[in-house]
Amino acid sequence: MTEPTQPTPSPAPAPKERTDGVRVSLPPDARPSEAASPGRAPRRPAALQPRRRFGGTEAQIRGALGFYMVCAWISGTFLLLLVAEMITRYGLGYDLIAGGTDRATGQTVALGWQDLELENLAGGVNISTWILIVHGWFYVVYLISCFRIWTLMRWPFPQLVVMALGGVVPFLSFVVERKIHASTTAELRANPKAAKRY
């Protein structure tokens, strides 16, 4: 018994030569091997590709980037101080007091821990509370800096969400700031004509 034979695929038809005598030259960037490959999508000409556009001049973007960097570091530092303050206040039961008076001895304490149950210190400035207040207000400034660089760079909305989370997740603002700085400078370098000209 003989096995059925598979039909051999016929080769692609060869291109026909021109018979009218007109010679056609190829463009300098033409690659016949790529054009002959089946299933390869032709590359769009550079004139038809979407161009990157920024929302401001390069000086505005670099200024907003510098402001964002400073805000990210200050907000991240105060967030770490706030975490330490929450641990000492709610975990250990102490607040940091500056310039308080010891109730037992009557002496002024330049910087000391107040036991929240015993209230061993009177008066003074509660540093723990001020850390909370400063971080809360500076987080608003940090959000403004995030919005400014996000608007100028015209990034997608999820990028703004990640940047905003940097001010409430410990250590995230430092990581995000490094990535934002690297990507912004890379985009400015790769697209020198994308910035607005005023």
Q: How many CB atoms lie within 10 A of CB 150?
A: 21
pLDDT number for residue 45: 52
Enter the tokens of residue 55. 């929302």
pLDDT number for residue 109: 79
Measured in residues, the chain has a length of 198
Question: Which residues make beta-bridge pairs with 102?
Answer: 121
Phi, psi of 121, deg, nearest 5: -115, 140
Runs of H (alpha helix) within 46-156: 58-86, 127-153
Amino acid symbol at 66: G
Q: Are 156 and 100 in contact, with CB atoms under 8 Å apart?
A: no
Task: Report how far residue 45's alpha carbon sits from residue 198's, in angstroms, rounded to the nearest whole number.
Answer: 29
Q: Which of 79, 86, 46 is nearest to 176 (CA)?
A: 79
pLDDT number for residue 13: 58
**In Å, what is the CA distance from 18 to each residue of 6, 15, 99?**
36, 9, 97
Output the pTM of the full model. 0.67
- pLDDT by position in tens, the chain (length 198): 556 666 666 665 555 555 666 666 666 666 656 554 445 555 555 444 456 678 788 888 899 999 999 999 999 999 999 999 989 888 888 888 888 888 778 787 777 788 777 777 788 888 888 999 999 999 999 999 999 999 998 889 999 999 999 889 999 989 999 999 999 898 888 877 766 655
**In Å, what is the CA distance from 164 to each residue of 67, 72, 150, 182?**
15, 10, 11, 18
pLDDT number for residue 142: 95
pLDDT number for residue 182: 92
